[in-house]
């Protein structure tokens, strides 16, 4: 979504300064009403929320899996036979 400054600059071409500010405020108010009424989260498409969540929670998940014995123990390196 474009930044409010970008929207304001694009409106300044067609409207006066005061009218463009009111238009940006009106758009912001509409979004502030519509998003909660739809009960949908507002997600930024440029951010990978799954990766952030996994990075944040992975240590806790691994700890819990180790506690219940479902996480594989680290394997010890085997010595190579030299010929």
Give the pLDDT confidence score for residue 51 in this predicted structure.
92
pLDDT digits (tens, 9 = 90+) for 14-49: 778 888 888 888 988 998 888 888 887 777 788 888
Question: What whole-number distance in Å separates Cα of residue 23 and Cα of residue 18?
Answer: 9
For the chain, the domains span 4-68
Q: Is 40 helix (H, G, I), strand (E, B) or coil?
A: coil
Give the pLDDT confidence score for residue 83 in this predicted structure.
52
Going by pLDDT thresholds of 50, 70 and 90, the confidence category of residue 59 is: very high
Give the pLDDT confidence score for residue 22 in this predicted structure.
87
Give the pLDDT confidence score for residue 29 in this predicted structure.
92
């Amino acid at each position: 979504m474009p930044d409010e400054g970008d929207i304001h600059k694009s409106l300044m071409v067609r409207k006066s300064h005061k009218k463009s500010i009111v238009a940006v405020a009106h758009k912001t108010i509409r979004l502030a009403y519509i998003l909660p009424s739809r009960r949908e989260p507002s997600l930024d498409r440029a951010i990978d929320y799954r990766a952030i969540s996994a990075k944040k929670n992975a240590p806790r998940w691994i700890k819990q899996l180790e506690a219940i014995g479902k996480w594989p123990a680290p394997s010890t390196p085997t010595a190579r036979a030299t010929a």
